[in-house]
Structure 1
Amino acid sequence: MPGPRPLAAALVGLSLVGAALAVTAQAAPSTSPAPASSPSPAASPVARQAPNVVFVLTDDLEPSLLKYMPTVRAMQKSGASFSDYVVSDSLCCPSRTSIFTGQYPHTSGVFTNSGDDGGLGAFDKNGLADQTYAVALQKAGYSTGFMGKYLNGYDPKAGDGTPGSNVPQGWDEWDVAGNGYPEFNYTMNENGREVKYGKRPQAYLTDVVSTKGQNFILNASAAGKPFALEIATFAPHAPYTPAPRDAKKYKGLKAPRSKAFNEASMTDKPAWMKDRPKLTKAQVKNLDTVYRKRAQSVRSVDLMLSRLRSTLRATGQLDNTYVVFSSDNGYHLGEHRLPAGKQTAYKTDIVVPLVVTGPGVKHATISRPAQNIDLAPTFVDLAGASALPEADGRSLLPLLKGQRPTDWRAYGLVEHHGPNLDPSDPDYAGKNGANPPSYEAITNNRLTYVEYTDGEREYYDNARDPQQLLNRWQDLSAARRAELKAALHDLQTCRGATDCSTS
């Protein structure tokens, strides 16, 4: 087996990307952005046993967009994909909190994007900053990096101006934007230093963090340390801004038209949505525009993944690195007469891609219920770091390596607080959007059961009715209703990996 290539050789293939960063930002007059630190032309990295992690987390990506992501499809062909991977809440901040900590919302206390039960404020107030996988990996000797989008409410201002100011615990490299949704004209905290980016094409945020990620890999490889890198993109979140080079792609593309699209009958749905009128032609046209822009915007994410993998290959790290791709939640586009959005317990919003390649990962489609609470325990497990004592999730490594644990969970749990009445929230649904009341749900490939706090119930036979067209709650026997209620109660009150895995 050939040894790793010298870093000087690796830089040749990356020269165009590295050069692009030097002209990345159109800065405000008082601020000039600096390029990412240049990798040292050191000797080849030393072989090591501890594997690396490169995790790319997208925002609001539903599975249908994978057809526009050839790098992810190639990862599926060689690695493992999960067909029943469910988020703990179809909303940015609670889902990302679960990813960082391995905790369900009922454990973390983070249920929304703002207010007393949400956002970075609740994350910090509840003492979660030192309970993340980054802290555990850093203590285990890993070089850690985070780039892109953090938690709702994060302000990239440098605070007191000291090195590392406004950088959370656990991260050695920190390059995080505030309002990066438009992909241009944003401010980034780069290791405690505020840098303003403008509107030139080179400032496109996904490309900026792509180059920074490549440099992080090069520098960590040169240092001979295992590393963990998370790049959390704003794409394809609204306003769905593609890279300028992709803005004319897919002319005429339309949103998928499943049987649930502009659903024929809604009489079986709960009160918060059953009286919705059918979508108008103008609304459908807008959904097609939204879908086309989303397809365009994920192209830059896929290119980033390709370049990260190329950097890993050039430094001899690819075979020793777990590359993980996923999303914080899904997205509906016309299903059940709902305009673009999320927050519901329907499969469109809670089932997202999880694709993994890396050492010992078997090529397979894994149907066991997995959740975003499992990512932090998985990263900690593969690094040989100390377990996260408050985590409700468990390591996915046994499944990735082809094992079949007999004590695996039967369902995924979804917990949501609503309705969302904050117009300043980037996920505010607006007047006509999906804005359900609080609910808890259990789900797997076979069924979805939802309990709303207003007393409404939903039950779908996912095996026979994958589009979730018919709510069959009224058809269930009293005994079956009691079983579902008990199963949901066990999960929504569980604490810790053992308790939550067997509930």
Structure 2
Amino acid sequence: MSLAAVAALTAGGAASGITGAINRGPAPAPRLSVPAVQGADLATADRGSAQRSTAQAGSAQRGSAQQGSGQQGSSQRGSAQRADRPNIVMVLMDDFSMDLVQTMRSMRQMKRAGASYSHAFVVDSLCCVSRSSLFTGQYPHQTGVRTNTSGARDAMPLGGYAAFAGYGNRERAFNVTLQGSGYTTGFVGKYLNEYEYVKGRTLPPVPPGWSQFNVVFGSAYDGWDFDSTYVRQGRLRTRHHAAPPLSAPQKERDKAYAGSVIDRYATKFIKAHRDGDAPYFLEVAPYAPHNRTQPQPYYPGDPVFPPAFRDRPAAGRKGNCGPVACTSLTTRDLPGFGDDRRDNRPRKANGKRARAWNTRANPFRPAQSVADLRNRAMMAQSVDRTVRKILRLVDDNTYVVLTSDNGFHLGQNGLGRGKGTAYDTDVHVPLYVVGPGVVPGKRAELTSNIDLGSTFEDLAGVTSPAYRSGQSLVPTFGDPALVRRNHVFFEHTAQALTKLDPDSALNGDELDRIPSYVAVRSRTGLLIRYDMDTDVRRNAWAYEFYSYKNRVWEKKNAFAQPRHAPEVQALMAKLAQWDQCAGATGGQGVPPGCRSLTQ
């Protein structure tokens, strides 16, 4: 189904019937009887841990991960004292892929000290869609945010900030709940696509639920010469961050780098509030390692992925990468690089071959992909410094969460440069948590970014509204072996890229080739159901299935192979159930049986 068809359907009602309208599958399978998942008491999950004080344990117990009535007022449990509830800092990177983890000192540090989630995913590997779902704890069909940008001006918005605001997501975001329960809430960095200042137009208002709102936009993708917001006397204002000339000293140029400005905003917030009477929540959202969006770089010779100057190899310096040097990265760090896509061709339900959705060869040579990989790693070092600084600044009653809005591919699976697929390169993200009572070790549970909002509410001692599809991860903090969920779901809407989309530039038109799909992932397999038809009146389903038992990437579509039939059928049943659950949108409560489909 085309984006225009989606627009026609969406015009009938805000955020209505995404899966039903966009990717309604074959006749539903019989509904499976799956019990609702109830939140575990952290006192049980964390029994015996000497890391949590009595006051902190009491706070976590009050925040056990049970889904509430959906009424924000009833979800608040009263105002707690500062010492009674923890501070929370989330660092949300932009397009950070798993191949970069090895270069990050902060991730190694957090892995040793806290929880590392080996199976953390996002609901859609697209910036605005993923971030909207993180804020609300809802799937894209619930938020109505399907794409990065709003689409045609005369239609209901399909994405971007217009869809996020227009469909009531600002009011449903977890930061509103936290602020209402007594938290000081701060935002620093990249917010949502199309929330920006355009000269001659009125600046959008501060979304509800933010005590401090320092959004960075403009040319921040390019590293320099951008704007940010701040609030003074109750009014949102903008500040321009000019780029020094190329002749300026390196330190001066790096001080004006977007990552450096975001770093200063973040550290200033923590210093201002760490000794306050109220607990705080802070989201830090760097632009790294997203590519620049302007065809011409700000500084001559800037690569597509522009690092700070201090992180670039020069005069015998190899750059500022951590445990693994940036300049040592090669295509060996990109599993599946250069694979022929002919054996990835989708299959119809009867096993016959369907139309291939991408037959174009990777337009980028291996040398370019290696250069991109190394530059992305160098870009990420500005985030690494910020995270390590945050870890030094916060007190012992603070949780720090590090993750990304999605991944990125650079030649893997025969694709070029981009994201948007349900493949591991794009939907698999790092997730690290440190804080009081977090027992160090790997977690095997499958998680989604829609779980984070409920997790923060749980830590704050408030009950999550019933419209959240995500579930708290707090029970896993004290018990690394706890596994409650074995599936995650993805959904993606095909789109025709415009010049306003930050992913349209310099990526070889990769994103607009991906059809709409829904998908389900287990620990060992991935089933994708594409809608190959662009006509709103028809559906043309095609499938890909990949097994991860013998390799970590998607080499060959095994949908029609008899030996995989039992797993394919089980995942098909999961998708059929998920179709039945797609009717709950916006502020409608999610039936417990639908939330428990991730079991």
Same fold (TM over 0.5): yes
Task: Report matched runs for 1:449-460 at 5 Å.
Answer: 449-454=527-532, 455-460=541-546
Distance (whole Å) between structure 2 residues aligned to residue 491 and residue 413 of structure 1: 9
Change over 3 Å in CA distance of 1:259–1:133 after alignment to 2: closer
What secondary structure is seen at the aligned counterpart in 1 of 2:222? coil
1:224 matched to 2:306: no
CA contact (8 A) 2:497 2:504 kept: yes
Change over 3 Å in CA distance of 1:311–1:456 after alignment to 2: same
What secondary structure is seen at the aligned counterpart in 2 of 1:452? strand
Distance (whole Å) between structure 2 residues aligned to residue 225 and residue 159 of structure 1: 38
> Among 554, 571, 580, which residue is 1:484 paired with?
571
* One-letter identity of the residue aligned with 1:170: G
Q: CA deviation at 1:432?
A: 5.0
Q: Which runs of 5+ in 1 are unaligned?
A: 2-45
Distance (whole Å) between structure 2 residues aligned to residue 110 and residue 493 of structure 1: 20
> Among 287, 290, 312, which residue is 2:372 paired with?
290
Q: Which residue of 2 aligns with 1:193?
A: 237
- Calculate the TM-score normalised by the size of structure 1: 0.84
Q: Which residue of 2 aligns with 1:148?
A: 189
Distance (whole Å) between structure 2 residues aligned to residue 252 and residue 74 of structure 1: 21
CA contact (8 A) 1:210 1:308 kept: no
> Among 413, 436, 439, which residue is 2:514 paired with?
436
What is the CA deviation profile of residues 21-61 of structure 1, one whole-angstrom value per residue up to 9, with x for unaligned ones? Answer: xxxxxxxxxxxxxxxxxxxxxxxxx9702001010000000
* One-letter identity of the residue aligned with 1:96: R
Q: Which residue of 1 aligns with 2:421?
A: 344
Distance (whole Å) between structure 1 residues aligned to residue 139 and residue 420 of structure 2: 16
What secondary structure is seen at the aligned counterpart in 1 of 2:262? helix
Q: Which residue of 1 aligns with 2:556?
A: 470
Distance (whole Å) between structure 2 residues aligned to residue 143 and residue 497 of structure 1: 31
Q: Which residue of 1 aligns with 2:491?
A: 415
Change over 3 Å in CA distance of 1:500–1:242 after alignment to 2: farther
CA contact (8 A) 1:161 1:193 kept: no
What is the CA deviation profile of residues 139-173 of structure 1, one whole-angstrom value per residue up to 9, with x for unaligned ones? Answer: 111111001000111014699989xx721111111
Q: Which residue of 2 aligns with 1:82?
A: 117
Change over 3 Å in CA distance of 1:127–1:274 after alignment to 2: closer
Matched length: 449
CA contact (8 A) 1:134 1:170 kept: yes
* One-letter identity of the residue aligned with 2:192: L
CA contact (8 A) 1:157 1:194 kept: no
Distance (whole Å) between structure 2 residues aligned to residue 244 and residue 311 of structure 1: 25
Distance (whole Å) between structure 1 residues aligned to residue 451 and residue 420 of structure 2: 20
* One-letter identity of the residue aligned with 2:230: E
CA contact (8 A) 1:261 1:336 kept: yes
Q: CA deviation at 1:492?
A: 4.4
* One-letter identity of the residue aligned with 1:84: H
Distance (whole Å) between structure 2 residues aligned to residue 245 and residue 266 of structure 1: 42
> Among 197, 200, 207, which residue is 1:168 paired with?
207
Q: CA deviation at 1:292?
A: 1.2
Distance (whole Å) between structure 1 residues aligned to residue 168 and residue 464 of structure 2: 17
Ranked by relative contact order (alpha carbons within 8 Å, sequence separation 6 or more), the top structure is 2
Distance (whole Å) between structure 2 residues aligned to residue 409 and residue 325 of structure 1: 21
Q: CA deviation at 1:78?
A: 1.2
CA contact (8 A) 1:85 1:370 kept: yes
Distance (whole Å) between structure 1 residues aligned to residue 271 and residue 508 of structure 2: 47
Q: Which runs of 5+ in 2 are unaligned?
A: 1-49, 51-80, 152-156, 245-252, 293-304, 314-318, 320-325, 347-354, 533-540, 585-589
Change over 3 Å in CA distance of 1:491–1:421 after alignment to 2: same
1:236 matched to 2:236: no
Same amino acid, percent of matched pairs: 34
Change over 3 Å in CA distance of 1:299–1:329 after alignment to 2: same
Please provide the CA RMSD for this pair. Answer: 2.4
Worse overlay, 380-389 or 451-460? 380-389
Worse overlay, 418-427 or 138-147? 418-427
Q: Which residue of 2 aligns with 1:268?
A: 344
> Among 125, 130, 143, which residue is 1:95 paired with?
130
